[in-house]
A and B are shown apart, each in its own frame.
Chain A
């Protein structure tokens, strides 16, 4: 039967090949119905009905003229204006009488089919280019729920038609190159499911693209609350192969969306107390839904994003699939399996898992057995094989890079190549077939990609990356420490920089990882969580550096920086801590004294590292110390928490407030083992510059004589009293002359960012050699008088 000019067709009469007739959404629902999957009954107002509407009302030309009125890219306002104009035209034009009549008749038939007079329906748009595998138009057109009665239905069908021209839909068609006039819209009309529970199923993990998992998110009531993001859903992770629930997260669900029988639309209401904390799905329902979703994916042969509704709740329920569409995001990430693709002017030949990071370019040798390996492999060749075992190690050792077809990040090739520091990609499907023996390739084992030929852009070192360790790193008298913010990278930094220790371990990123304001944590009884997280973070740093010192700087968030954390508004803004200039506000050692409970948690973490993990190379530095009293009180709290200064445990302070410069001798008397200049704040405060005020930045300079004199004074007093001096601000990284100044003044150490450690060591080595030569020359001139080594006030 030729249905191409039908006005209405029933969903159980269409399939996936009817996209041009009823749009992607309705075609999918028809396909599912034919497969026996429970889909709410309904019909589609066809795309041809819309085409006739445009023709008979003669508004098609007006619309396309409006859309084509400007050539080239438009700005968002133009899209808005075009959309408004077109939608108004469509919604105000009278629907041809025969089309309206057929819609009414179909509605009455649906009433009979469902046995419900004035049956409530969902009216959903279904564009003919919607939900194609490579161009998800999901959500770009409108859906109207809880529509009742034939007149309301006709009205909303027309509104769905006009939603083909939302600004977003117009923009997407232009971006994806779909001609507007080729895209039509159908409208699906389905019985409303009185959802007690609804949700979404992803047949791969939407977070990481893992195709072995099915993710189900569900909540009470209609799915609108979930899609609108007004509720946090329950979450279930199911193994796709075994259909076992591997993870379950049941959360409080405070609100739900329900049909509003007065307005005919939907409304939001509070979830009754007895259901709030209950799981919205039983385990049996989760497994049933997972199986259903797996079947749908099998049917379409591509991962799906399925919306479902459960009628009747946990007992006597009926599960309906409301919509299914291909998952397009991760589909685009897939490696090519049989042919090459171009990315940024480079040709990717194969792709796999990055098992041992690194880059290498060279000739590939496809070797399927050891005999071939012995015959073909030469120094720095790319070893390409199915999988390695211990017998392959001699050939792996000489390889410049390794690519295997099988295996994951814990397979033999991955483990051995990591130990050897050889770039390695595993699980690169068809690599032995797609790569050519003797041909040149670039292996990017940071991203798991093999490019055709030598790709210089990939091979050249990126700016800001950690510099490769040269063969010889000079030994310096001045110790060069490293600043660390991210504990996860400490092992790599320790290995690659060979720094003499950590001069600044920042605590702020550990706090960000914990993900809550510390006061909120304490209020929720989660203080121990902070202790454990901080202890673990410090352990990750102290272990690879041991026995070299690691100086942990206590939390120094400015009040406004806390605002980004849950609880930040309440405990910073509402508490009145966020002043006009947070850099000068409620921070540093003053805060520890005012909020000792938070500071005590940090102390407990350090004690745990030192005593439980036996990492006694960890020491503590107090930031932004303003007064002797603050220092004294903070030190007292530390002692109460078991952190007592001694030969084995050093206490440092940051020297960044002019008061600590002027009173450095008093601080020494109070008992400190080291100071570290924070040149950022010190410069700001010595010169009286608001660091965040752009209009005054031109005079901000760490090399200002006033700043240098401040540092010179502190170094001299500290040296006279056997107190270590260091610097952890950015000045040495940015200005070589500051490095020379510090070495000449006698600073014991400096702490720089990871990418500057080796460079600074080389620089310091040169300066120290120069000083030795200068000293020898002067000693000769002064008959061996060593007094010339005394530091002098800088000029």
Chain B
């Protein structure tokens, strides 16, 4: 599940120093796979639901609780990439704001019936092996290559 996303991050963010998953919910396997492939990167996951974050405390990736509507910016400082899987559309705006503020790229994998909200010139569609991986907004200030 989300193999294409993991591969995309692996191929394009291999020199990232910090990657954060926003709204991790009950599944942490994507972040753990990214961490496995990019052991040099600090990988964090966050959610506003403390109970779901607590389930991940002993994971190899750091899990923290935060509210995207009023985020603690230092958590995300120095991130190269922030990404989110199936976020509710209402919090995509705050994600954009946060990513812009810290200068990190934002990669969103929307649910299928929410994809059309990303059909906008601000977003770059990511395709791998002919399939849509997600949508990207570049805020990074320096290149990784």
A→B interface (CB under 8 Å): 73, 75-76, 79, 167-168, 171, 175, 200, 206-209, 215, 217, 226-227, 229, 232-233, 235, 329, 332-333, 343-344, 354, 357, 446-449, 457, 462-466, 483-486, 489, 493, 506, 508-509, 512-513, 515-516, 556, 558, 560-561, 563-566, 582-583, 678-681, 691-695, 697, 702, 729-731, 733-734, 753-755
CB–CB B120/A515 < 8 A: no
**Cross-chain contact of B92 among A168, A464, A516, A697 (Cβ < 8 A):** A464
Closest to A514 in B: B26
Q: Which residues of B contact A462 (CB under 8 A)?
A: 93-94, 96-97, 100
Taking the nearest CB of chain B, how far is it from the CB of A231, in angstroms?
8
| Contact, CB under 8 Å: A485 / B15 | no
Cβ-defined contact, A208 with B70, below 8 A: no
* Pair A558/B89 contact, Cβ less than 8 Å: no
Whether A344 contacts B102 in the complex (CB less than 8 A), given A464-B96, A465-B94, A515-B52, comes out as yes
User: Min CB distance, A243 to chain B, in Å?
Assistant: 21
* Bound-state Cα–Cα, A516 to B49, Å: 15
Chain B interfacial positions (CB closer than 8 Å to A) = 1-2, 14-15, 17, 25-27, 38-40, 49-50, 52-55, 57-60, 62-66, 69-75, 77, 85-86, 88-94, 96-97, 100-103, 111-117, 119-120, 122, 125, 127, 130-132
Residue of chain A at shortest CB distance from B49? A513
With A73-B15, A332-B74 as given contacts, are A564 and B132 in contact (CB-CB < 8 Å)? Answer: no
B64 and A556 contacting across the interface, CB-CB below 8 Å: no
Q: Is the CB of B58 within 8 A of A466?
A: no
Q: List 9 A-B contacts (CB under 8 A).
A: A79-B40, A175-B17, A207-B64, A344-B101, A489-B90, A679-B116, A694-B132, A753-B89, A754-B90
A residues less than 8 Å from B86 (CB atoms): 508-509, 512, 561, 564
| Partner among A217, A486, A560 whose Cβ is within 8 Å of the Cβ of B57 | A217
- State which of A446, A558, A694, A754 has its C-beta within 8 Å of the C-beta of B70: A446
Apart from A207-B63, A486-B88, A691-B112, list 6 A-B contacts with CB within 8 A.
Answer: A229-B60, A556-B113, A561-B112, A564-B1, A564-B27, A566-B27
Expressed in whole angstroms, the minimum distance between the Cβ of B124 and any Cβ of chain A is 12
Closest 3 CB pairs between A and B? A730-B116, A464-B93, A462-B97
Contact of B65 among A208, A465, A755 (CB under 8 A): A208
Q: Is the CB of B113 within 8 A of A680?
A: yes
Contact of B113 among A227, A332, A486, A678 (CB under 8 A): A678
Tell me the minimal C-beta distance from B120 to chain A in angstroms: 7
A702 to B116, CA, bound (A): 10
Contact between B117 and A561, CB atoms less than 8 A apart: no
B131 touches A692 (CB 8 A): yes
- How far does the alpha carbon of A480 sit from the alpha carbon of B7 in the complex, in Å? 41
A733 to B52, CA, bound (A): 33
Instruction: Assess whether B91 is in contact with A486, with CB atoms less than 8 Å apart.
Output: yes
Given A229-B58, A333-B74, do A508 and B111 touch, yes or no (CB 8 Å)? yes
Report Cα–Cα, A753/B64, bound state, in Å. Answer: 29
B131 x A447 contact (CB < 8 A): no
B97 CB contacts on chain A under 8 angstroms: 462-465
* Cα–Cα, bound, A486→B86 (Å): 12
Report the minimal beta-carbon distance from B62 to chain A, rounded to whole angstroms: 6
> A75-B14, A329-B62, A730-B117 in contact; A564/B85 too (CB < 8 A)?
yes
Contacts of B73 in A (CB 8 A): 343, 447, 449
Contacting residues, chain A, for B96 (C-beta < 8 A): 462-465
User: Closest residue to A754 on the B side, CB-wise?
Assistant: B90
Q: Which residue of chain A has its CB nearest to the CB of B116?
A: A730
Q: What is the chain A residue whose CB lies nearest that of B74?
A: A333
**What's the Cα separation between A235 and B116 when bound, in Å?**
42
A226–B54 Cα distance when bound, in Å, is: 14
Please name all residues of chain B whose beta carbon is closer than 8 Å to the beta carbon of A457 when the two chains form the complex: 101
Chain B neighbourhood of A448, CB < 8 A? 70, 72
Among candidates A171, A208, A215, A483, residue contacting B89 with C-beta atoms closer than 8 Å: A483
Q: How far is the CA of A279 from the CA of B119 in the complex (A)?
A: 52
Q: Are B116 and A734 in contact (CB under 8 A)?
A: yes
A731 to B115, CA, bound (A): 12
Nearest B residue to A681 via CB reads B113
Known: A167-B40, A229-B59. A333 touches B117 (CB 8 A): no
A485 touches B132 (CB 8 A): no
Select the residue from B75, B93, B100 with max chain A CB neighbours within 10 A: B93
Q: How far is the CA of A235 from the CA of B53 in the complex (A)?
A: 13
Complex interface: chain B residues within 8 A of A466 (CB): 93
Q: Which of A200, A209, A233 has the most CB of B within 10 A?
A: A209
**B103:A344 contact, CB within 8 angstroms:** yes
Q: Is the CB of B115 within 8 A of A167?
A: no
Q: Point out the residues of chain A lying under 8 angstroms from B65, CB to CB.
A: 207-208
In the complex, which residue of chain B has the Cβ closest to the Cβ of A202? B57
CA distance A485 to B117 in the complex (A): 13
Which residues of chain A are within 8 angstroms of B122 by Cβ–Cβ distance? 463
Closest to A166 in B: B39
Residues of chain B within 8 A (CB-CB) of A463 are 93, 96-97, 100, 122
B58's partner among A226, A516, A678, A694 (CB-CB below 8 A) is A226
Q: Roughly how many angstroms separate A343 CA and B55 CA in the complex, as a whole number?
A: 32
Using Cβ atoms and an 8 Å threshold, which residues of chain B touch A207? 50, 53-54, 57, 63-65
Q: For A516, list chain B residues within 8 Å (CB).
A: 26
The CA-CA distance from A464 to B27 in the complex, in Å, is 26
CB nearest to A231 among chain B residues: B58
- Distance, CA A321 to CA B145, complexed state (A): 44
Q: Which residue of A lies closest to B113 (CB)?
A: A680
Contact A333 B72 (CB under 8 A): yes
| A463 (CB) vs chain B CBs: closest residue | B96
B144 vs chain A, min Cβ distance (A): 9
> Which chain B positions have C-beta within 8 A of A332?
74
Give the complex CA separation of A344 and B36 in angstroms: 30
Docked complex Cα distance between A73 and B116 (Å): 38
- Min CB distance B22 to A, Å, is 13
Decide: A563 and B1 in contact? CB cutoff 8 A: yes
